[in-house]
Amino acid sequence: MPKAASLCSPKTRSSIGGMKLLVVEDEPAIADFLERGLAAEGYEVAVTGDGVEGERLALDGGFDLVLLDRMLPGRDGIEVLEAIRAARPALPVIVLTARGEVADRVEGLDRGATDYMTKPFAFPELLARVRTRLREADGATATALEAAGMRLDLLARRVERDGRSVRLPAREAELLAYLMRRPGQVCTREQILTAVWRYEHDPGTNIVQVYIGYLRRRLAGLGSPAPIETVRAAGYRLAEGP
C-alpha cells in the first residue's frame, strides 16, 4: 500500500524555513531519487505513489509545493491537479511526466500546473524550478489586480468589468494577470511564452495569439471592446486607463 514518508532534521529544517514538499510518484526508483535529493537540500519531503492518497495529502498536509506525476494509480494526475486547484489555488504544482508532446504540456498547464517537466530530467534543473516556484508563491501576497477598468481576483480567477464578471480558465487568467501587472507596456510574444507557459515552444507556434483571442472575446462579452492592443511586429499591450 502506498505510504507517505517524511525526512527532515532540525538543522536542515531551519536552513530552508521548514518548507514541506509532497512527491506524488508511482515509480519507486524516481520517487526514491527525488526524496533523497530533495531531503539532502534541506526540504521536508513526503512521498506517496497513489493518486487518491496524493490528493488527500496535498489538500490536508500543509505542503508548500507538490511534485505530481501525471500517470498514477487510484486517480489520474490531472484529476488530482484539478482538485488541488479548486481547494488550494495558490499551491505550486510541478507536473512530472513521460508524455512530452506539446498538446500534453499545454493541457497540464491549462488545467492549472505551475510548471511542467518531462522525464527524464536533470535534478539540478528540477531543483532550480522548485526554488523559483517557492519564491514566487512566497512573494505572491496580492489576491487581486486592478488595471484598465478591470479587477482580477487571482484566487477565484474571476475578472470584473463594467459591473459584470466572468470566471477565466487558469491559463487565460495567468495571461491577463501578466498584462495587468504591466499596463501600457509592450510585452513580446517571447516574454509572454516564458512567463505564462514557462517552457520552450516551437518558434512557429501561435499559442499566444490564440489565447489573446480567447481573452479578448471573454472581456468583450463583459462590455466594451477588450483593452488588449496588438503592437505590430512587437507584441501586445494592455491599454492604460479605463
The pTM of this model reads 0.56
Q: Give the number of other CB atoms < 10 A from CB of residue 166.
A: 14
Strand partners for 165? 160
Lowest mean pLDDT across 105-109, 167-171, 185-189: 105-109
Please give the average per-residue pLDDT across 74-84, as a whole number. 92
Predicted local distance difference test score (pLDDT) of residue 13: 32
Predicted local distance difference test score (pLDDT) of residue 139: 55
Strand partners for 44? 20
In this predicted structure, the answer to whether residue 81 has a pLDDT above a threshold of 80 is yes
Sign of the CA dihedral running 79, 82, 87, 92: positive
Distance, in Å, from the CA atom of 64 to the CA atom of 50, rounded to the nearest integer, reads: 19
In this predicted structure, the answer to whether residue 8 has a pLDDT above a threshold of 50 is no
Judge contact between 49 and 2, C-beta under 8 A: yes
pLDDT tens column, 38-63: 998 889 999 999 999 999 999 987 89
pLDDT tens column, 207-228: 899 999 999 999 988 878 889 9
